[in-house]
Structure 1
Amino acid sequence: MTATFPDISLSTERLLLRPYDEADIPELVEMMNDDLVTAWTGAPRPYTEATARAFTTGGAAAERTSGRGLVLAVTELLTQRLVGTVQLQNTDWRIRGTEVGYLTASWARGEGYAGESVLAVVRWLFGSLGFERVELRTAADNSASQQVAQKIGCISEGVLRGAGLIRSRAGDDPEGRWVETRTDLLVWSLLPEDLDDADDADGSGTAAGEVYETGYAPYPDYADYSAAAQRR
């Protein structure tokens, strides 16, 4: 029997992390067509309504039912506006380890939402599911993503040379076509004791928030696709 993550939602003081649904399509399309999302992820460009519909009605849930990982929409708790995505991927159930990815809508950047949502997921993994390792990989030039890793207490482990792909406009033309180039990936990790040390220092050990089941219906026959894409 394939091990899978439970069908859950998580909440923090400001955010609700939950499965995607069709009501998210308009905001998802807007978020994914941002130039920075295109540059740092492998998401389709343009990201169409059809792509968003296929993802929200099947692709996201298939990540969970396949055992590969978990995809959660990140929304503001009060307004329910879509803030971003957190995804678990490349999960190894034998060693209780997984890789976390994230992206943030352009309007929501600079508010600390990425770190807050990732920490909620990591604390849930360690505290409720007995996971022992969470890995995070950032493109060498993606300083914003690296700042998130540092702020949540990740430990830098090294560099995977030429292990990722990023995109940029040809000739730096803002209207030019997107081209892929190879990049190094920085590897970061979190272990349970890393969060224990941080919580002892700042008294935030209860910041994981509430966890509850959602009853989200999976569509396991959907083709493999990652909302957070291959690498941030």
Structure 2
Amino acid sequence: MELRMTTTFPDISISTERLVLRPYEDADIAAHIEMMNDEMVVAWTSAPHPYTAADAEEWVRRIAPAERTEGRGVVLAVTEFLTQRLVGTIRLQNTNWHTRATEVAYITAPWARGEGYATESVLAVARWLFRDQRFERLELRTAADNTASQQVAQKIGCISEGVLRNAWIARTRPDDDPEGGWTDTRTDLIVWSLLPEDLEGVADQLADTGYSSFTDWN
């Protein structure tokens, strides 16, 4: 008889100079609803739309905790250290404990874009994953036209491995009708990967561009 071992990530909080990545709390629900109804989030994710209070409560109280306890990954709220405001979310998913590989996904709230928060949070999680958890591969998938997400992948040193053709459904609506309904549109996914050796020198490079916080994390 084959014995199956359930493996889970620890219940953790990760800190950088500017951010605290921690499990979701009920106090995050209002900001999470607002973030998930943003047009960019609607366009590039498969989250329900419109995103309701019931959706947020289900996410915070059941779905997010279960990702960790059931061994699939971990979900963290990304908050500003000084204001404690929710500025995004980061999720490790589709984790393979045998190969020590997992996939990262992230969302940044519209009020926090342009600050480098997504890059900072993904890099912090990657360093924790490789150093503390001894993982060997982090994968990232971005829709073909989602340039903001692709820039994050490039900044942290990810290598583009190829294209999954017609593998995702994005949502669009006509430019001349910003209040119109959303339409599902098939699109390609670009596959990126990050290995432990890819992180060498990344923090120093980012510090040179003004992100001093990348060298200060727990």
TM-score normalised per structure 1 = 0.86
Write the letter of the residue equivalent to 1:62: A
Per the alignment, do residues 206 and 149 of structure 1 end up closer, same or farther by CA in structure 2, a change over 3 Å counting?
A: closer
Report how many aligned residue pairs link the two structures.
210
The reply to whether residue 149 of structure 1 matches residue 149 of structure 2 is: no
Give 2:124's aligned amino acid.
A
Name the aligned partner's letter for residue 112 of structure 1. Answer: G
* In structure 2, C-alpha distance between the alignment counterparts of 1:3 and 1:84, rounded to whole Å: 26
Is contact 2:43–2:171 with CA below 8 Å preserved after alignment?
Answer: yes
Is the counterpart of residue 122 in structure 1 residue 130 in structure 2? Answer: no
Identity rate of aligned residues, in percent? Answer: 68
Would the aligned equivalents of 2:8 and 2:69 in 1 still touch at CA under 8 Å? yes
- Out of 46, 61, 65, the position equivalent to 2:50 is 46
Q: How far apart, CA to CA, are the structure 1 residues paired with 2:191 and 2:176?
A: 28
Q: Distance in 1 between matches of 2:6 and 2:174?
A: 43
Aligned partners of 1:12 and 1:208 also within 8 Å:
yes
Q: Tell me, in whole angstroms, the C-alpha distance in 2 between the residues paired with 1:132 and 1:14.
A: 27
Q: Distance in 2 between the 1:194 and 1:22 partners?
A: 36
Q: Does 1:74 align with 2:78?
A: yes
Alignment of 1:26 with 2:34, yes or no, is no
Q: Gaps spanning 5+ residues in structure 2: where?
A: none
RMSD between superposed Cα atoms in Å? 1.8
Deviation per residue, 1:146-200 (Å, 9 max, x gap): 1111111111111111111100125752111111111000111100000024357
Alpha-carbon distance change, 172 to 38 in structure 1, aligned in 2, over 3 angstroms: farther
Counterparts in 2 of 1:208 and 1:186: CA distance versus 1, 3 Å: farther
Q: Which has the higher contact order (CA 8 A, sep 6+)?
A: 1
Match of 2:217 in 1: 209
- Deviation readout 1:30-71 (Å, 9 max, x if unpaired): 110001100000011111111111111111000111111110
Q: 1:156 to 1:182 in 2, by over 3 A?
A: same
1:201 Cα deviation from its structure 2 partner: 5.9
Distance 1:151 1:23 in 2: 31
Q: Which residues of structure 1 form unaligned runs of 5+?
A: 211-232
Select 1:107's aligned residue among 111, 127, 132: 111
Structure 1 residues 192 and 24: alpha-carbon distance in aligned structure 2, compared to 1, 3 A threshold: same
